[in-house]
Chains A and B, each alone.
Chain A
Amino acid sequence: MSLFIIVALPFFGALLPGVMNAAGRAACAGVTLMVSLAAFLGLLTNLPALLAGEVVTARVDWMPTLGLNFTLMLDGLGFFFAFLILGIGLLIISYARHYLSRDDHMGEFFTYLLLFQGAMVGIVLSDNILLLLVFWELTSLSSFLLIGYWKHLPEGRQGARMALAVTGMGGLAMIAGMLILGQIVGSYDLSVILQNREAIQADPMYVPALILILLGCFTKSAQFPFHFWLPHAMAAPTPVSAYLHSATMVKAGIFLMARMWPVLSGTPEWFAIVTTAGLVTMVLGALIALFKHDLKALLAFSTVSHLGLITMLLGTGTAFGAMAAVFHILNHATFKAALFMSAGIIDHEAHSRDIRRLGGLRRLMPVTFAIATLAALSMAGIPLLNGFLSKEMMLEEANHTVLFGSYWLVPVLATFGALLSAAYSFRLIGHTFLGPVRDDYPSAPHDPGPGMWLPPAFLVVPVVVIGVAPFLAEPFVRLVTASVLGEAAALPDAHLKIWHGLVPALYMSVIAVVGGLLLMGVFKPLLRVWETAPRPEAKVIFESIVDASVATARGLVLTLHNGAFTRYASITVLAILGLGYHAWSTGTLSAPTREMQAAGAVPIAGLLMLVAATVGLVVLHRNRFLALIFIGIVGLMVSIGFVFLSAPDLAMTQFTVEVVTIILMLLALNFLPKTTPVESSALRHMRDAGLALAGGLAAFSLAFHFMMRDAVAIPISEFHLANSYKGGGGTNVVNVILVDFRGFDTYGEIIVLGIAALLIFALTETLLGGPVRARLLNRNPDQPRAGNMHPTMMVVLTRVMMPVVLMVGFYIFLRGHNEPGGGFIAGLVVSIAVVMQYMASGFHWASDRLRYPYHGVIGAGVLVAGFTGIGSWFVSKPFLTSDFTYVRIPPFEKFELATAALFDVGVLLAVVGAVMLSLESFSRLARRSDMQESEYPMDIDPSRAGLPSQDADAVRTEE
């Protein structure tokens, strides 16, 4: 079967359990089993090729530009691990079928399990290290879900996050390591990398790469000092512990070390780091395991210890060490998975995993006893079981290993580790199964149905068979070892045998077993010593580190983003000023190319007024009304400034904009208190003043700099000046720029204006229904209201003014193309004409006479402008291309008709609509339900029948 299918099967199969969940537990587990089985059989179909010495590969390009490709490779090592993963997976699935209770969502469980299985198979079959990283991180993620499967358990959630944090960190380090490795070799394909041992080990980046990759391996395989997460991951359901944390995931790190062995091992750095870490882990793990009361915790630390053992073997860098490692991986997987499942059975039946509450189960659970005892004895290294063989090889290898110049360090520690290992194995058997039968089990223990004990029993078979007849396993171990070694070393001439003669390893083994038995004799006093001795609690440390980082993160980020706009603005302004100054100070300056102009008395007076008004605004801004007046002065001075600088269009625009703005702001003032409160301290005022001065100075310097210098080439405005009549048909360059040269900008800007108005409308609309409006309406006006809200004189005046102003607007609109004016200014003028009516006769009266809603006017304006632009498409010209012609209608002079004028109509409409909609929105806000709406244009109307003054009185008294 293609390798792709083997990898893909679990992933796609992961969809099935969820679907089948409703069909019942058997069906759900059944499909999961079928998926795994299919992949397993698929793997076996590749065995013949493998035995023939081939390496099976498959390749599909994924990201060739990055070097990340979907390349898979099946050699001895890959087959070995895939076999373990899928084979034990099958047993785990059938075990889990019976282990999970009816309350557990089985579909979810098997989905995660299959995802995990796929990721694991992916790791061991990857021929591309980046692809391997993908699968690597996937195992972290899927194990996160599996460990946290029992969501209601806080231990599960914490264990899951801890596992994710630790293995995630290692994974990230490994990303860096793998990338460096790939950069050294120039390829991310394993098959290429494995050929480049010399190049890699000679590269200066070798050590960083090695450390980073080992970080990944050590975290995943729970090597010291990253061993602490594994026991906490035991909060997962037992099938998960048996699968992930004994047989597969924790072996991923080991796998990778074996995979990279040909290129990474053999250097002093590799030897020192890997052997030391392995040795320390082995002893430390075994020591902790000895004193654990929770069966799963004991097994977890024993797993840590055995992983350390394998790591140490790989660290030695010899071919024999590698062979011993391979053999022990196989043996450990069998007996440890069986032990975990047995622990699960005990937990399941006796409702406790606490060794102190167990004992005497030998009679009550004979089958379980037999299975667990065989597996545990193998773990202890008793002859005729497979654990003995690989431990012998380990001790043999340790005997030849010189660490830090010491000949005895490794052998002694290895023996000590083996001794502890024997001790906790004996404790497991003795304290759980032996001893008297108790009468205080949480639940009456008995052997489970075959569904649960068959899988571990199945695993014990190889434990015994290999133990008795190791030569059966030898060809396989040699095959796998050969692929670990690659071309880096020759296959050792060693054989798997029970009896090697009276070699030192045998003595060490004897010491270990006997020592282990003796240790059990003095266990109770030892336990008391252990329990009184201070030792770091990894979980507490980890949690406090995480809590501290969260607190630090909060201290940093939440303090920085405290929501104060003044702080945000000042940091921003500082950054702009600082970087601007940096650019300024590192540049070069030549002499100015322009002369300073003489300033007359009038401009200086104007400027002084401008400055005075601005200063006044800053000082007196708390009085909102005064502030408005100052703003008005500033605006007027700017308009006059435009006149002085020969920009009449700008002046007109600025002037009309000022008028409309002030009216709108006056309306807004209606809803605000007269003064603003003092909110910042004097110190902060000083800071802000300093920033403002610096900003002003910077703006001045920049403007002055550019005013004294010519551009490096002729500005484009020269072209506009030269061609506005010839190409745009207008003598007013500003208007031609607005509607023709850069009409598209104008198009955008009228849309901005329209949106602004819609926005004001939408804003007030939401306010109308909300609590804010109630507050607004209930406020006490801080000034007395005028008695006569719609004075007769004003009404009369505005009615008379209206046609005149409209005429002015029309005139301004028409002359726009050639003289100062245009649609924008005309629009503002027209708006003023209408606004005056509102002011004179009130909102109600005016809006009753409104025939076209302002939304529509805005929409129409934008549409007219848009369709004018599109019109030019019909003559195959780009958007907004203008054309003009001269026509003569008899009584008038010859005049010009330009399509740009139509565009200007759009501008006019949009401006009128926008201004009026904003005004209307503000006015709506001010309307009060209790306010008597006058249907007349003015309060006192001599021509009206009846007694109008009473109306006015009525209004007054109600207020």
Chain B
Amino acid sequence: MTHWIIAPIILPALLAPFIVLAARYHIGIQRVFSVVGVLALITIAAGLAWNTSDGSILLYQLSDWAAPFGIVLVGDRLSTLMVLLTAVLALFVLLYAIGSGWDDRGRHFHALFQFQLMGIMGAFLTGDLFNLFVFFEVLLIASYGLMIHAGGNARLRAGVQYVLFNLIGSTLFLFALGSIYAETGTLNMADLANRVQLIGPKETTGIRVASVLLLLVFAIKAALVPLHFWLPSSYAEAPAPVAALFAIMTKVGAYAIIRVYTMIFHPGLEVTSGLFDLWLLPAALVSLAIGMTGVLAARSLDRLVAYSIIGSMGMVMVAISLFNPAGIAAALYYIVHSTLAGATLFLISDLVRTGRGNLDLIPQPAMAGTALTAGLFFAGAIAMSGLPPLSGFLGKLLVLEAAYATNLMVWIWAIVLGSSLVSILGFARAGSVLFWKSHSVELGEELPERTAPAMLSYVAVGGLVTLLALHTVFAGQVHKYTTTMAVQLFAPEPYIATVVETPGKLSKPKEDH
């Protein structure tokens, strides 16, 4: 019996209360435990990813009860990759938070950070829909805590909207879960995949509504237009390292959609046909367009980055909503890219804020630490707007290729490429104002407070950019892996069999089955 698969959840879940209990007045100790914890997480996550890379399914029956009666954690290629991505992102975000001193500007940063990690990891690993709800709650409440970390009026106001909006999401989630349970009598995903097959063509209303409501829950998390309104102000107002960590949160929604809508309500399922296959792709395209238009429209850098996150999620959702293996493989490649690029840009915006005092896109005297920050911004902008040589370009090619010869190909191509142009314009304008126009601005009398960012901050951002570069250089290997992942997702029988057929406490012998 190995317990590694639960370790990504338990480790932060033990570290956080320990920090609260024993080290809540000692920022130094908190930092040590936090960093060591994340390093351990990376190691564990890498081990899990390695163990599942051959296609095997790791199952963990909590409390020793077999599915569907108890809760199970399931590790396959997809979930372990997401866990690994989260852990790696967390390390750089944490380093930045420490380097910039953000973690010391309010209370309980590290405890909340660890709880946040626990929630994200749990959401990726659980094989049970209600347990997913619980982890959504964990990550929601922890993210709210992180978001309003260090306080301030604008931040608190944005925080209220964030939490209210997510309460709508949580309520909807309960409705969806209630409906699904009432219809099928189960909450385990694999079991659900079996039971929806039992629903006849004469009684489809219930499951149709349930599947749509559930998708909308995930769409809220994934910031799909028009359910994205919580994102711009909360990401822009959140402390930069927190916003950077949030880059993975939208991916939780995307992950859940991929998981549930390839395994349970998969495209071939008769009773739910004519629903999301109808409107998800248009909505994703609108997200992409609105997000990238926002990049052009934004008046401050943090909003600009927040809108680019919406656009980038739109791109992910475009790829997902193709609902074919090529699309999913492209989406997974792009998810990794988008997470790293989004986080990088948020951290860079904080470098700018540190060096300049604010983020308004109006010319101001040169900031502290211009050259390095400008270089990093250039790289981040290239990544986000999908230009070569960074992975955004490759991701874009993959999405375009996956969309070839589909019904909406012209729309997809036009919007993907057009929004790319708009975001290039937006980033070029912003960069020009921030880094170039400053050369022609006279030094005024009153300057906002400006300091050169700390070295560790640059190391963290540089690390993320390096990861983006590696994601590009090893694109062949990564895409090959995401392709096998997509294949695994579209052939979920081993997953389902492993979950449903592994006996647990008091399970009847198998021949009764």
Contact = CB atoms under 8 A, between A and B. Distances in A.
A957 interface: no
Contact of A580 (B115, B165, B212, B279): B212
Contact of A586 (B275, B400, B506): B275
A858 B397 contact: no
Interface in A27-48: none
Interface in B415-449: 417-418, 420-422, 424-425, 428-429, 432, 435-437, 439-440
B98 to A, nearest CB: 18
Contact of A866 (B14, B227, B394): B14
A148 B178 CA distance: 59
A571 B224 CA distance: 13
B165 A881 contact: no
B18 A741 contact: no
A783 interface: no
B318 to A, nearest CB: 15
Contacts of A183: 401, 404-405
Given A134-B393, A754-B17, A876-B1, A66 B141 contact: no
Given A161-B432, A175-B400, A881-B64, A748 B417 contact: no
A499 B212 CA distance: 79
Interface in B344-400: 378, 382, 387-389, 393-394, 396-398, 400
A859 B17 contact: yes
Interface in A733-772: 740-745, 747-749, 751-752, 754-756, 758-759, 761-763, 765-767, 770, 772
B202 A863 contact: no
A18 to B, nearest CB: 10
B505 A727 contact: yes
Nearest to A880: B63
A563 B233 contact: yes
Contacts of A556: 290, 293, 297
Interface residues on chain A, size class: 35 or more
B17 A63 contact: no
Interface residues of B, number: 139
A137 B397 CA distance: 13
Most chain-B CB neighbours within 10 Å: which of A719, A748, A770, A859?
A748
B204 interface: yes
Given A583-B275, A711-B184, A767-B151, A133 B195 contact: no
A168 B421 contact: yes
Interface in B186-235: 186-188, 191, 195, 198-199, 201-209, 211-213, 216, 220, 226-227, 229-230, 232-233
Interface string B74-107: 0000000000000000000000000000000011
Contact of B432 (A133, A160, A872): A160
B71 A561 contact: no
A66 B145 contact: no
Contacts, number: 379
B175 interface: yes
A148 B68 CA distance: 62
Contact of A144 (B60, B216, B230, B428): B428
Q: Chain B binding site: helix, strand, loop or mixed by DSSP?
A: helix
A748 B229 contact: no
B408 interface: no
Given A165-B428, A557-B293, A881-B505, A151 B421 contact: no
A758 B108 CA distance: 7
B483 A65 contact: yes
Contacts of A872: 64
Contact of B476 (A61, A137, A546, A716): A61
B168 interface: yes
B24 to A, nearest CB: 6
Given A752-B138, A762-B108, A766-B106, A715 B404 contact: no
B240 interface: no
Interface in B24-59: 24
Contacts of B68: 716
Interface string A611-654: 00000000000000000000000000000000000000000000
Contact of A176 (B13, B405, B413, B479): B413
Interface in A547-562: 549-550, 553-554, 556-558, 560-561
A136 B401 CA distance: 19
Most chain-A CB neighbours within 10 Å: which of B68, B182, B475?
B182
A756 B141 contact: yes
B335 interface: no
Contacts of A154: 440
A165 B439 CA distance: 22
Given A144-B428, A755-B138, A859-B17, A877 B275 contact: no
B460 interface: no
B120 interface: no
Nearest to A876: B1
B181 to A, nearest CB: 7
A568 B161 contact: yes
Contacts of B297: 550, 553-554, 556-558
Contacts of A575: 216, 226-227
B63 A565 contact: no
Contacts of B61: 878
Nearest to B231: A561
A130 B106 CA distance: 49
Given A699-B175, A758-B112, A863-B18, A726 B229 contact: no
A719 B397 contact: no
A870 interface: yes
A811 interface: no
Interface string A285-315: 0000000000000000000000000000000
A589 B203 contact: yes
A154 B18 CA distance: 56
A827 to B, nearest CB: 16
Nearest to A551: B297
B397 A130 contact: yes
Nearest to B227: A572
B421 A165 contact: yes
A590 B151 contact: no
A588 B204 contact: yes
Contacts of B165: 565, 568-569, 572
A553 B397 contact: no
Contacts of A880: 62-63
Nearest to B153: A772
Given A165-B424, A713-B184, A756-B141, A770 B71 contact: no
Contacts of A716: 68-69, 185-188, 191
A63 B479 contact: yes
A860 B112 contact: no
Interface string A707-724: 101011111110110010
Most chain-A CB neighbours within 10 Å: which of B19, B20, B226?
B20
Contacts of B16: 751, 862
A877 B2 CA distance: 9
Contacts of B203: 588-590, 709
B6 interface: yes
B69 A711 contact: no
A180 B440 CA distance: 45
Contacts of B393: 134, 137
Contacts of A584: 205, 208-209
B149 interface: yes
Interface in A801-856: 855-856
Given A588-B201, A752-B138, A711 B60 contact: no
Nearest to A180: B404
17 contacts: A157-B436, A164-B428, A165-B424, A179-B400, A554-B299, A561-B229, A572-B168, A575-B226, A582-B212, A583-B212, A741-B70, A748-B134, A762-B108, A763-B148, A859-B20, A861-B17, A881-B63
Given A878-B6, A878-B63, 11 more contacts: A148-B436, A164-B424, A172-B421, A180-B404, A565-B165, A748-B122, A761-B107, A766-B151, A856-B20, A876-B1, A878-B3
Ranked nearest first, the 4 interchain pairs of A and B with the lowest CB-CB distance are A859-B21, A766-B151, A715-B185, A587-B205
